[in-house]
Amino acid sequence: MKSAMALIASRGRIVLGIETSCDETAVALVRDDRRVLSAQLFSQLAEHAPFGGIVPEIAARAHLERLDLLIARALEESGVSLGELAAVAATAGPGLIGGLSVGLLTAKMLALVHDKPLIAVNHLEAHALTARFTDGLAFPYLLLLVSGGHCQLQLVHGVGAYSRLGTTLDDAVGEAFDKLAKMLGLGYPGGPKIEAHARNGNPHRFPLPRPMVGEKHCNFSFSGLKTAVRRLVLELGSAALDPQNLADLCASFEQAVAEILADRTRRALARARELTGATPPLVVAGGVAANQRIAAALRALAEEWQVRIVVPPPPLCTDNGTIVAWAGIERLELGLVDPLDVPARPRWPLDPKAEPLLGAGAKGPKA
């Protein structure tokens, strides 16, 4: 009969990942052979929908109420005990400080009581490393991170090694979707609702602006586009909610966003080639990556440049515990563990050497 230690070794190293940075409470147990032993998620959409966006106090309270239960479920489903863990990983930033504190303090307690290494994970790095979990992608590669709180282009050299090539100067792209949906009375979250209406629309009917397109830098801006849409909605008045007008408006907005993202990513690919001597693969992560019009534009760009494109499956593009656990595994393998007094950080840029710009490394309410 195998000893307990031999049994643990045969199962590989297992890391518990905890994610509480915004409005999803998530837990996962992941093994170093990329097997997900359990993934638990509680979405707070119903709690925040009446407010049209994330309410930080409600989010923190929901994390506090649900996290222990999700951890217990994950352990039960996987048949893993806390003593078998190789480490405990938790998102420590960027994000809403109340939610981050709930997850990180829970991870610290488990690490202390069970004498396990603690790994404080940067939420952005968890997204950045997802392609290595799903596809075993080698470094370096270019990351386009597009979500409710982020819009960035990062050259990923390795774990903990990033060069920011571009970031939003105002709104994140997912935030722009949410604000348009709120403007049109479509509800929250805005991305899926706008995409649903856009399927029946003419993407070329309304000539909306494409801010930053053609610029030599790799930054983004969506405030001008958002303002143009608001003016258009005011001009149309009640007719804006006519089914065809609504569909055409949503489709035109989607098309503008897709062209902006493709243009800025094209510039970043050129810059990455200058820096590395070769054109790296393209990774697209974050909730907005699920939008089909945007995904098609980025696939066309990858074909144009003859580079590999990796888009993780939608459940791994939104906030989840699996990518936090995987980031923990990657960092654990390099001996990158953290002390128990590591703080939660509402702002935590991947590239600390980059010039501070509004939107870089911040994660806040999605609307």
Claim to verify: residue 237 and residue 309 sit in the same structural domain: yes
Claim to verify: residue 194 and residue 165 sit in the same structural domain: yes
Residues comprising the chain, all counted: 367
- Of 350, 332, 319, 315, the residue nearest 100 (C-alpha): 319
Residue 20's pLDDT band, with cuts at 50, 70 and 90, is very high
Claim to verify: residue 117 and residue 228 sit in the same structural domain: no
% of the chain surpassing 90 pLDDT: 83
Claim to verify: residue 84 and residue 168 sit in the same structural domain: no
Write the pLDDT tens digit of every residue in 108-157.
Answer: 999 999 999 999 999 999 999 999 999 999 999 999 999 888 899 999 99
Write the pLDDT tens digit of every residue in 243-300.
Answer: 999 999 999 999 999 999 999 999 999 999 999 999 999 999 998 998 999 999 999 9
Q: What range does the domain containing 211 cover?
A: 139-313
At residue 358, the pLDDT reads 57
Claim to verify: residue 120 and residue 193 sit in the same structural domain: no
Claim to verify: residue 195 and residue 295 sit in the same structural domain: yes
Full DSSP string of 79-148 = T--GGG-SEEEEEEESS-HHHHHHHHHHHHHHHHHTT--EEEEEHHHHHHTHHHHHH-PPSPEEEEEESS
User: Would residue 79 count as lying in a domain?
Assistant: yes
Residue 367's pLDDT band, with cuts at 50, 70 and 90, is very low
At residue 48, the pLDDT reads 80
User: Would residue 106 count as lying in a domain?
Assistant: yes
User: Would residue 348 count as lying in a domain?
Assistant: no
- Of 295, 298, 315, the residue nearest 307 (C-alpha): 298
- Are the beta carbons of 59 and 8 closer than 8 angstroms? no
Confidence (pTM): 0.91
Write the pLDDT tens digit of every residue in 52-99.
Answer: 778 888 989 999 999 999 999 999 999 999 999 999 999 999 999 999
